[in-house]
Amino acid sequence: MVAYRQEEIGAFKDTLGGVPLCRLPFSVDSVEKKLDVDFEYIGNEGLGDSYICSVTIEDNLCLLQGFVSKDNDEYGVTVSMLSNSRDPQKMLNEVCDLFGLGLNELQWCREDLGPPAWHAYRVDEHGNEYVMDSFLEEKAAELYVSLLEDSPHKQKYYITRSN
C-alpha cells in the first residue's frame, strides 16, 4: 500500500517549481473521494476552472491539478513532481500504484523518466567543487544558482548537464 498525505498548498508553491509527470484519467471529484483530500479552487486558467491539491506520495511532494470543472474527467488530473525529484520512474510507479492504474491507463506520461540531468555546483575558495542539487530541467537549475548567487556568501556557482 502506497503511503500519502495531503499537504498545505504552500508546501509546493514554496519550492523551485514542478514539472509534469503524468495525467490521471480521473476528475477532481474522483481523486478527492479516492484519497479523501480537498482541492483548492484557484480560478479560471483559460481551460475553465482550475483546482489544485498538494500531496506527498511516499516521500515525494507533488501537485495535483484539474481543469474545466470538478466532475470533468476528459482533461484528467495532472500530477507534477518537484523539479529536483531524484527518481521520476519510481514516483510514476508510486502514483500508478496509489490509483490502481497501469502505465497504459494514464492519459499522458512524461517521456524522460531518468534521473535529474542538470547539476548545480558550488566552487569554494580553494577551487573544490561540490554538487549542491540536481534538477530535471535547466531552467530550475538556473533559478537555483541565481538564488545562491544572490546570497551574502560570494561563492562561485555553475550548472552542467550530465550525459
Per-residue pLDDT tens digits for 17-58? 788 999 999 999 999 999 999 999 988 867 678 999 999 999
Looking at residue 47, its pLDDT comes to: 66
In percent, the amount of the chain with pLDDT more than 70 equals: 97
First to last CA, the chain: 35
Torsions phi, psi for 152 (to 5 deg): -65, -25
d(CA 127, CA 107): 48
Instruction: Identify residue 84 by its one-letter amino acid code.
Output: N
Reported confidence tier of residue 89, pLDDT bands at 50, 70, 90: very high
What three-state secondary structure class fits 119?
strand
List the domain boundaries for the chain.
Answer: 4-109, 118-161
pLDDT digits (tens, 9 = 90+) for 105-143: 999 999 888 888 899 999 988 999 999 988 888 888 888
Q: How confident is the model at residue 69 (pLDDT cuts 50, 70, 90)?
A: confident
Contact 114, 134 (CB under 8 A): no
Give 56-82 as a 3 state SS string. EECCEEEEEEEEECCCCCCCCEEEEEE
| Residues with Cβ within 8 Å of residue 17, at least 6 apart in sequence | 82, 83, 140, 143
The conformation of residue 28, written as its DSSP 8-state character, comes to H
Cα-based angle 123, 135, 150 (whole degrees, multiple of 5) = 50
- For the cut 70, the answer to whether the pLDDT of residue 16 exceeds it is no
Phi, psi of 93 (to 5 degrees): -60, -40
Considering the chain, what is the average pLDDT of its residues?
89
| Cβ contacts of 61 within 8 Å, gap of 6 or more | 7, 11, 12, 15, 54, 55, 81, 82
The predicted structure's pLDDT at residue 51: 93
